[in-house]
Amino acid sequence: MKIFKSLAPYLASLAILYFVPALAQTHHDGLHHWEIPSKDPDRIILTFHGDPSTHRAVTWRTDANITEAFAQIAEAEVNSDFVEKAVSIKAKTEQFDLGLYKGNTSLMVHYHNVIFDGLKPDQLYVYRVGDGSDHWSEWIQFRTSGVGYAPTQFVYFGDAQNDILEHWSRLIRMAYQTSPNAAFVIHAGDLINNAHKDQEWAEWYKAGGFIHSQWTAIPVVGNHEFSSITEGESRRLSIQWRPQFTLPVEEDLDPELHETVYTIDYQDIRIIVLNSNDKLEEQTSYIEKQLKDCTAKWKIISCHHSVFSPAKGRDFEFARENWKPLLDKYGVDLVLNGHDHTYARGHVPVRTTDSEDPDQLGTVYVTSVSGPKQYELDAEQMKAYKKQGYQLDKSAEQKQFFQVITIQDNTLTYVAYTVLGEEYDKAVITKDFRTGKKELK
pLDDT class for 61, splitting at 50, 70, 90?
very high
| pLDDT single digits (tens) 359-382 | 579 999 999 999 999 999 999 999
| Cα four-point dihedral sign 265, 270, 275, 279 | positive
What's the whole-number mean pLDDT along residues 25-33?
Answer: 75
The answer to whether 152 and 96 are in contact (CB under 8 A) is: no
Segment 226-234 long-range contacts (CB within 8 Å, at least 24 positions apart): 226/195, 226/277, 227/194, 227/195, 227/196, 229/100, 229/101, 229/102, 229/196, 230/102
Kindly state the average pLDDT of the residues 244-265.
97
pLDDT reported for residue 120: 98
The helix, strand and coil proportions of the chain, stated in percent and rounded to the nearest 5, come to 25, 35, 40
Residue 55 has pLDDT above 90, yes or no: yes
Q: What's the Cα-to-Cα distance from 111 to each of 44, 65, 208, 228, 242, rounded to whole Å?
A: 10, 12, 19, 22, 10
**What's the pLDDT at 11?**
47
Output the pLDDT for position 16.
Answer: 42
What pLDDT shows up at residue 257? 97
User: HSE-up of 413 (CA within 13 Å, CB side)?
Assistant: 9
- Report pLDDT digits (tens) over 256-270: 999 999 999 999 999
For the chain, the domains span 42-143, 152-440
Q: Is the pLDDT of residue 411 over 60?
A: yes
The residue type of 36 is I
Residue 401 confidence (pLDDT): 98
pLDDT, tens digit (0-9, with 9 covering 90-100), for 6-28: 555 544 444 444 444 434 444 68
Using the predicted structure, report yes or no on whether residue 3 has a pLDDT greater than 80: no
Residue 359 CB neighbour total at 10 angstroms:
11
Q: Which amino acid is at 28?
A: H
> The domain at 152-440 falls in which architecture?
4-Layer Sandwich (3.60)
Q: What is the pLDDT of residues 170-206, one digit of tens each?
A: 999 999 999 999 999 999 999 999 999 999 999 999 9
* Residue 130 clears pLDDT 60, i.e. is over it: yes
pTM: 0.92
**Position 249 confidence tier, pLDDT thresholds 50, 70, 90:** very high
E strands within 144-257?
Answer: 152-157, 184-187, 216-219, 226-227, 236-237
Lowest mean per-residue pLDDT among 44-48, 66-70, 312-316, 332-336? 312-316
The CATH number assigned to the domain with range 42-143 reads: 2.60.40.380
Given a contact cutoff of 8 angstroms between Cβ atoms, the answer to whether 174 and 157 are in contact is no
pLDDT value for 1: 45
Q: What is the pLDDT of residue 100?
A: 94
Helix and strand counts by DSSP (H, E) for the chain: 9, 24
Report which of 109, 94, 99 is spatially closest to residue 230, judged by C-alpha positions: 99
Write the pLDDT tens digit of every residue in 268-316. 999 999 999 999 999 999 999 999 999 999 999 999 999 999 998 899 9
3-class DSSP state for residue 349?
strand
